[in-house]
Structure 1
Amino acid sequence: MLNNSILSVKDLNQMVKDLLSDAIGQIWLVGEISNFSRPSSGHWYFTLKDDAAQVRCAMFRNSNFRTGFTPQNGQQVLVRAMVTLYEARGEYQLVIDKMQLAGAGLLQQKFEQLKQKLSDEGLFDPIYKKSLPENIRTVGIITSATGAALHDICQILKRRDPSLQVIIYPTQVQGTEAAGQIAKMIQIANVRQECDVLIVGRGGGSLEDLWSFNEEVVARAIFASQLPIVSAVGHEIDFTIADFVADVRAATPSAAAELVSHDNKEQIRRILIQEQHLSMAMDYYLTRQREILNTWFHRLQAEHPQAKLSQQLNRLITYRHALYENIQQYLLKLTNQYNRLDRKLLSVSPEYHITFYGQTLYQKQQQLINMIKQKLAMSQHQFVLQTSQLNNLSPLATLERGYSITTNQHDDVICNSQQVKVGECITTKLKEGILVSQITEVK
């Protein structure tokens, strides 16, 4: 019977694709490449197979450019892929985003899985990391007795701090039994408690060479150690599980030796600094004790009878000086008083008054003479000024300028026609001579 759930082929393939993606998701698998093709689009298409089965695979251009090599038919590879469905043909396939050659790839995958496991358990947590002791006297080294790492570590320790004691816990660092031996030596060093810090490591090598330090048994032995452990495996670019679990990671075995040792020159410098501090402290202590001794000595001197006599003598000398000063001040006071009375007597003497008034009379005479001279000079100046002004106003001066003066019979100066009458005689004064005229007509 039909219902509303009828699907199209496209819908079915979409559902199957979603189910595959959700149920399986991302996986790692190993297989042999065959039917490899690389079209112009840059994508890779091939088949991944083993002895019993095969599956189609695609690795798109945005992922395969990071691979670092071009796959060849017949190669064993390790891939990380998503299981999905190619809807156009209804075939399931793998979409690969990462590819490695099978040997190193499997180890890397194992490394990542163990790293994630131990990280989830908290073995890498910083709260469990122990600090290196400040004063390290004995260093334990867990490594190969014939390896270059041991030689480098011992040489640096001898150069930097010859006083350090070194205990070697020899072990294999490569091979199937190496991990167990390394873990056992860590346990032995913790039981003996004969060193302050442990260096666990070896020289450089490939991932397979360093694999003993990626084993879980070594990681758990390092985590359980009561002694601080410095991991020194390989070169600076090499990282192992031991590096993440250890309390301190050194880039190289030589760097580990430098971490656990103090430079001899630096120690000498510190000793010299401590010596200076001690010397300064002793100087301060001795100075303080000397001050206390001087205090008691001065107190003893102050209570000595000779000191009392010296104090009385000093006091007597002080009083004598004070008496001498008082007498000098009293004599000076009497001298000043005598001089004041002498000046007062002199001021009331007749001779003084005569001299004083004589000087005053002379000053007054000089002032009077000066005043008379000034008055005469002023009067003379005024006379000259008034004479000049009078001369300017004189009728004679007017005549000198060509004018004439006419007067009537009463000698009044005629200024207008109403002052005269017809038939009246008038007199006209000129610069030289006088004219007498008779008025015949007044206008």
Structure 2
Amino acid sequence: MSSLTNQNIFTVSRLNAEVRLLLENEMGIVWLMGEISNFSAPVSGHWYLTLKDSRAQVKCAMFRGNNHRVTFKPQNGNQVLVKARLSLYEPRGDYQLIIESMQPEGDGRLQQQFDELKMKLAGEGLFAQTNKKLLPEHPKCVGVITSKTGAALFDILDVLKRRDPSLPVIIYPTLVQGEDAAIQIAQAIGRANTRNECDVLIVGRGGGSLEDLWCFNNEIVARTIAASQIPIISAVGHEIDVTIADFVADMRAPTPSAAAELVSRDNSHKAQSIGHYQQKLFSAIRYYLAEQKQHNVALLHRLERHHPRHQLQRQNQQLDELQLNLERAMNRYVARHQQKLERQQYKLQLHSPVSKLAERKVSLSRLEQKLLDAMDRKLLKTRHQLALAAEKLDTVSPLATLKRGYSISQTEQGKIITNASEVKTGDTMITRLSTGEVHSTVL
């Protein structure tokens, strides 16, 4: 213990900082392919995810400055190819990848292979302008290596027919797409060199996706073009399409039609010659710019290792993590108080006068119904008694006597006549029968 000094003793923070610098300086940029899981995109705009395969996983972060260039929306389960810088998130001691670019696995893998082959061949000098052969000023015969049924061939023939109908054309048909296309293209170039019939070759096809044009990014095709004794014009795709064949060829034409114009003569052949040299100048500039870009990228990577942006990115990541922790704590706090409130509401409902009033209301309804039932029974009984009394009354009623054939005589004043002396001659007498009345005059 006596040999230890303060410089030999690490704090956890110092250890993590040293490990981070070691990872960033030693590993540099890596390419990684894997499946996305645990993807999240906080309001800060940064992305956090895990890349995994069948046996391992690694945490990743992609900050807002880089992820806005991604052309698709990452989702859990996506297979992707990423270009990343290895680093360490010091607060947790977790090593992680800081992703700089992301592509779907298929397109990304092709682009990676394209970049690797481009750097390899450029390092060997295959793109150097000093290796380029000059095109003949006045070609005597033109060879075309493309599909015999493709639109590119007909575009080339149409231009040659319009500009220089007397120029001989030899077609070396080949596949320009698929697994066997690269071998056939290389064989066609070799066959044209063996037969030595042409003094310039046009190699190309129409436009398409990176996968469609992939045979022109094949190393065999590139080395065959570089070894050709006949000058070759690469005319692959549209003007925006770039292939390895374009870098190796002696001249690159933006389209098959433009390649036909380069090898044909018309009244503006001087302008064509200027265009030829202009294309060579553009090719030289592009090659120079590509070399400078590669050099600048290397310097940029060295600069980025010490860039304060990395510290800001780590702090942004820590801020996002703290924000998530705060949100989770707030959610737990709200949930606890919500449960407490629900329990208080339940207790209040148990002792609430509303429930007691409801019970009393039900009881009152039952009593009311009983009262109505008792009233109905009393009314029915009273009606029955009344009917019995009416029946008894009917038996002693004078109306009943009338129904048996008797009658009642009255004076006009309504006095009942019980004795004949109570009337005299000329009086009107009213005799009431069971049904109706009889008026008569006493004689």
TM-score after normalising by structure 2: 0.59
1:106 to 94, 104, 109: 109
CA–CA distance in 2 between the matches of 1:247 and 1:186? 14
Map of 1:21 onto structure 2: 24
Residue 154 (structure 2) aligns with: 151
Aligned length: 267
Change (3 A) 1:90 1:184: same
Q: Deviations over 1:126-175 (max 9, x none)?
A: 11111111121210001111111111111111111110111011111111
1:217 alignment partner, one of 220, 241, 251: 220
Q: Per the alignment, do residues 11 and 255 of structure 1 end up closer, same or farther by CA in structure 2, a change over 3 Å counting?
A: same
Q: Return the match for 2:56 from 34, 41, 53.
A: 53
Amino acid at match of 1:149: A
CA shift for structure 1 position 8: 0.7
In structure 2, the gaps of 5 or more residues are 270-443
Are 1:237 and 2:240 counterparts? yes
Contact 1:179–1:215 (CA<8 Å) still a contact in 2? yes
The letter for the 2-side match of 1:249 is R
Q: Is the 8 A contact 1:232 1:252 kept in 2?
A: yes
Name the amino acid aligned to 2:195.
R
Do the aligned partners of 1:76 and 1:102 also contact (CA within 8 Å) in 2?
A: yes
- Cα distance in 2, alignment partners of residues 213 and 24 from structure 1: 32
Equivalent residue in structure 2 for 1:199, among 197, 202, 213 = 202
The one-letter amino acid paired with 2:111 is Q
1:186 paired with 2:189, answer: yes
Match of 2:173 in 1: 170
How far apart are 1:80 and its partner, in Å?
0.7
Structure 2 match to 1:131: 134
Task: Pick one of 88, 91, 94 that aligns with 1:88.
Answer: 91
CA contact 1:219–1:245 (8 Å) conserved in 2? yes
Matches of 1:204 and 1:60, distance apart in 2: 35
> Highest Rg: 1 or 2?
1
1:350-361 matches, within 5 Å, as none
The residue number in structure 2 matching 1:259 is: 262
Task: Tell me the amino acid that sits aligned with residue 81 of structure 2.
Answer: L
CA distance in 1 between counterparts of 2:170 and 2:72 reads 46
Instruction: Report the alpha carbon displacement of residue 69 of structure 1 after superposing the two structures with TM.
Output: 2.5
Match of 2:81 among 78, 81, 95: 78
Cα distance in 2 for partners of 1:69, 1:185 equals: 39
Give 1:266 deviation, angstroms.
4.6
In the other structure, the counterpart of 2:332 is none
Q: Secondary structure at the match of 1:230?
A: strand
Q: How far 1:180 sits from its partner (Å)?
A: 1.0
Work out the CA distance in 1 between the residues paired with 2:197 and 2:119.
34
Instruction: State the 4+ residue runs in structure 1 displaced beyond 2 angstroms.
Output: none
The DSSP-based 3-state class of the residue aligned with 2:55 is: coil
Deviations 1:69-91 (A, max 9, x none): 22111111111111111110011
Please say if residues 200 and 230 of structure 1, whose CA atoms lie closer than 8 Å, have aligned partners that are also in contact.
yes
> Over the residues paired in the alignment, what is the CA RMSD in angstroms?
1.4
1:43 paired residue number = 46
Deviation at 1:204, TM superposition (A): 0.7
**Contact 1:137–1:163 at 8 Å: present in 2 too?**
no
3-state SS of paired residue (2:115): helix
1:246 partner letter: A
State the one-letter code of the partner of 1:96: I
CA–CA distance in structure 2, aligned partners of residues 40 and 147 of structure 1: 50
> In 1, distance between residues paired with 2:140 and 2:256?
19
Could you say what secondary structure the match of 2:49 adopts?
strand
**Amino acid aligned to 1:109:** Q
**Structure 1, unaligned runs of 5 or more:** 268-443
Query: Does 2:45 align with 1:7?
Result: no
Kept after mapping to 1: 8 A contact 2:138/2:263: no
Identity of aligned residues (%): 66
Distance 1:65 1:266 in 2: 47
8 Å CA contact 1:43–1:61 kept in 2: the answer is: yes
* Cα distance in 2 for residues equivalent to 1:246 and 1:85: 45
| Preserved CA contact (<8 Å) 1:59 1:96 | yes
Q: What are the superposed Cα offsets for residues 279-331 of structure 1, whole Å, 9 maximum, x if unpaired?
A: xxxxxxxxxxxxxxxxxxxxxxxxxxxxxxxxxxxxxxxxxxxxxxxxxxxxx
The answer to whether the Cα contact below 8 Å between 1:84 and 1:93 also exists between their aligned partners in 2 is: yes
The SS at the match of 2:211 is coil
Q: Secondary structure at the match of 1:153?
A: helix
Matches for 1:335-350 after TM superposition, within 5 Å: none
Give the conservation status (yes or no) of the 8 Å contact 1:157–1:261: yes
Q: Which amino acid is 1:70 matched to?
A: K
Partner of 1:310: none
Matching residue's letter, 2:238: H
**Matched residue SS, 2:18:** helix
Within 5 A, what are the aligned runs for 1:265-280? 265-266=267-268
- In structure 1, distance between residues paired with 2:99 and 2:55: 21
Higher relative contact order (CA 8 A, sep 6+): 2
1:70 & 1:88 partners in 2: Cα distance? 29
Matches of 1:197 and 1:69, distance apart in 2: 43
* Secondary structure of 1:172 counterpart: coil
Aligned 1:391-402 pairs, distance under 5 A: none
Query: SS state of the match for residue 146, structure 1?
Result: coil
